[in-house]
Amino acid sequence: PPADIGLIGLAVMGQNLILNMADHGYTVAVYNRTSSKVDDFIASAKASEPSAGRLVGCKSLKKFVSSIKRPRKIVLLVKAGWATDATIESVVPYLEKGDIIIDGGNALWTDTIRREQELTAKGLRFIGSGVSGGETGARFGPSLMPGGSKEAWKELEPIWKAISAKVDRKTGRPIEVDTPGQVAKGGEPCTVHIGENGAGHYVKMVHNGIEYIDMQLICEAYMLMKNLLGMKPDAMSEVFAGWNEGDLDSYLIEITADILQQKDPMNKRRFLVDSVLDTAGQKGTGKWTSTSALDLGIPANAIAEAVFARCLSAIKEERVSASKQLRGPKAPRLPMSKAKAIEAIREALYCSKICAYAQGFQLMAEAAREYDWKLDFGKIAKIFRGGCIIRARFLQKITEAYKADRRLQNLMLDPYFKKALHGGQGNWRSVVTMATNAGVPIPAFSSALAYFDGYRTAVLPANLLQAQRDYFGAHTFERTDKPRGQFFHVDWPEPGRPISKS
Ligand code: 6PG
């Protein structure tokens, strides 16, 4: 029988998405540039996958394309960037009007806009879809963020809804699926049409920016417990597992608890985390989020800080050398009990997390204005509740916040989050103070706090800044006692000469 959909790219994400589609009853044509991979994949699927009968292995692009029902739907899961362009170029000659290419990679949204334009000119359709959830998500239910024309989405919608993660309609909690052949019954699918052209990939990019800061915040909590409280990984694992029962309940907290109790397979007396080198990698989505925030003038400082924290971690040799030359403060006494400090760190983490999401959503709001997308933040928060890396109980609260006020200016202003910030700020400040006094770097905690304090400050020192700009460059300034939009300039004296009293 002709395939319902085709997929190019047999790295692990591609393989798992194929098996997920097959489990949901779809026949999937499979192609990879190195064709031995196709054989290997089909053979291993036959050995262990209940839905292997629904896979159609194809050795040539011609056979691949001709084995798919029209209008064809072809998913690409290849490396973002030039490999995506090369794959599109290779498959296009076989396609016919109305066929749809779906890019599931972490593409830069401006590339997605360009690709859609190029393919539209050829009578083809294009969907740039964020796919989040790593390998397991792809296999058993990712969060899917498709962008593109509505009518192209209509064609893809049934499949995307079937394979996406599902959350319980009442509680908003993810429905667990973890066995090949198993499918979730009922539940709300974690996918929605995000918007035109590059909107899906933009939202996926911001998801990743939030993922960066979420991870960095957890790492800072870990560092505080390790360096200030002298805790061992297994003890910290218990703390994280406990946090996972409350407001912080999330995938990233859960895996952190798991990671911290993992013993080193090469040295069973040690914990693995103590053997892992402290240099972070990154593939660019967090950087893109921060660049976009700078381009759009949105103060996503905590998200950018998480990227810089990775950069700082990467210059390991320099840090090791500097650690022998630059001295920090003498370790002060802990101003509170260990139990109190752990609770303070939990609250600092929660408050910082609220700021981080506030920044991500503010950024998306500005991008929607700039690129003319109609983003629905309630729906975006909803599809983040399951499948994706940042899935968390907390996202139900964000969903509710946008449900109560579609135009909410900033997440921090929602009554629930406002209350959490008001209640938690005492501990948050104590943690930042403690860390600062002890010389423990917590850039994400402290930049989130600076964002909170900056955002709630009616008068910032930018009055002086504007005067400075006017002084040295005649850049003009607005006045507090005149309407906005009227600009003034003063004839400043030469530097160093006092201004005459008159
Ligand atoms: C996801 C992830 C994923 C991303 C990795 C790696 O949502 O499943 O965001 O798409 O590629 O997390 O990102 P870095 O290598 O930049 O950390």
| Same-domain pairing of 88 and 165 | yes
Instruction: Please give the pLDDT value at position 361.
Output: 98
pTM for the model stands at 0.96
Q: Name the average pLDDT for the chain.
A: 96
pLDDT of residue 491: 94
Claim to verify: residue 220 and residue 322 sit in the same structural domain: yes
Tell me the CATH number at 16.
3.40.50.720
In this structure, the answer to whether residues 464 and 451 fall within a common structural domain is no
Residues labelled as active-site residues = 204, 211
Do 85 and 150 reside in the same domain of the chain? yes
Closest CA to 43 of 30, 61, 24: 30
Look at residues 164, 182, 197 and tell me which one is the last residue of a structural domain.
Answer: 197
What atom of ligand 1 comes closest to residue 282's alpha carbon? 16
Averaged pLDDT for residues 139-153: 97
Instruction: Report pLDDT for 501.
Output: 59
Same domain, 265 and 387: yes
pLDDT higher than 90, residue 346: yes
Cα–Cα distance measured from residue 191 to residue 162, given in angstroms and rounded to the nearest whole number: 10
Quote the ligand 1 centre to 208 CA distance (angstroms): 6
User: Where does the pLDDT of residue 499 fall: very low under 50, low under 70, confident under 90, or very high at 90 and above?
Assistant: low
pLDDT bracket for residue 61 (50, 70, 90): very high
CATH code of the domain in which 339 resides: 1.10.1040.10
Domain end (from 421, 436, 455): 455
Which of 79, 132, 164, 211 for mutating ligand 1's site (highest number of atoms within 8 Å of CB)?
211
Q: What is the pLDDT of residue 500?
A: 63
Q: What is the pLDDT of residue 496?
A: 77
Domain boundary among 168, 197, 226: 197
pLDDT tens profile 374-387: 999 999 999 999 99
Centre of ligand 1 to C-alpha 41, Å, is 24
- Do 496 and 468 reside in the same domain of the chain? yes
Interface confidence, given as ipTM, is: 0.97
Amino acid identity for residue 43 in this structure? A
Nearest residue (CA) to ligand 1, atom 17: 282
Query: Given pLDDT bands bounded at 50, 70 and 90, which one contains residue 249?
Result: very high
- Shortest-distance atom of ligand 1 to CA 142: 8
What value does the mean pLDDT take over residues 481-502?
85
Give the Cα separation of 150 and 58 in Å (integer): 30
**How many domains, in total, are found in the chain?**
3
Q: 134 CB less than 6 Å from ligand 1?
A: yes
CA distance 150 to 85: 23
For residue 390, which of 244, 208, 237 has the smallest C-alpha distance?
A: 208
Q: Residues of the chain with pLDDT > 70: what percent?
A: 99
Tell me which of 203, 205, 212, 283 to substitute to probe ligand 1's pocket, judged by most ligand atoms within 8 Å of the beta carbon.
283
Q: Are 406 and 392 in contact (CB under 8 A)?
A: no
Q: Are residues 34 and 165 in the same domain?
A: yes
Contacts of 242 (CB under 8 A, 6+ apart): none
- The residue segments making up the domain with residue 85 are 5-197
Return the structure tokens found at 379. Answer: 């729906």
Binding site membership of 129 for ligand 1 (Cβ less than 6 Å):
no
Averaged pLDDT for residues 403-416: 97
Asked if pLDDT for residue 3 goes beyond 90, the answer is yes
Indicate the SS3 state at residue 392.
Answer: strand
pLDDT at 479 over 90: yes
Contacts of 363 (CB under 8 A, 6+ apart): 206, 209, 289, 292, 293, 296, 298, 300, 303
Indicate if 365 and 443 belong to the same structural domain: yes
Residue of 20, 388, 389 with the most ligand 1 atoms within 8 Å of its CB, for mutation: 389
Give me the mean pLDDT over the 58-67 stretch.
97
Do 188 and 208 lie in one domain? The reply is no
CATH code for the domain in which residue 494 is found: 1.20.5.320
Compute the average pLDDT of residues 255-265. 98
Q: Could you give the 3-state DSSP secondary structure of residue 308?
A: helix
- Neighbouring residues of 109: CB distance < 8 A, sequence distance ≥ 6: 128, 147, 198, 199, 201, 202, 205
Q: Both 139 and 222 in a single domain?
A: no
**What average pLDDT score do residues 170-193 get?**
94
Whether 143 is in the pocket of ligand 1, judged by its Cβ within 6 Å, is no
Assess contact for 17 and 138: CB atoms under 8 A.
yes
According to the model, what pLDDT value does residue 391 have? 95
The whole-number average pLDDT for the span 85-107 is 98
| pLDDT score of 117 | 98
Task: Pick out the residues of the known binding site.
Answer: 9-14, 32-34, 78-80, 106, 132-134, 207-208, 212, 283, 310, 469, 475
Question: What is the CA(73)–ligand 1 centre distance, in A?
Answer: 25
- Rounded mean pLDDT, 434-460: 98
Residues annotated in a binding site for substrate: 106, 132-134, 207-208, 212, 283, 310, 469, 475
Q: Do 178 and 231 reside in the same domain of the chain?
A: no
Q: What's the full length of the chain, in residues?
A: 502
pLDDT of res. 332: 87
The 10s digit of each residue's pLDDT in 274-288 is 999 999 999 999 999
pLDDT of residue 502 exceeding 60? no
Residues 468 and 445 grouped into a single domain: no
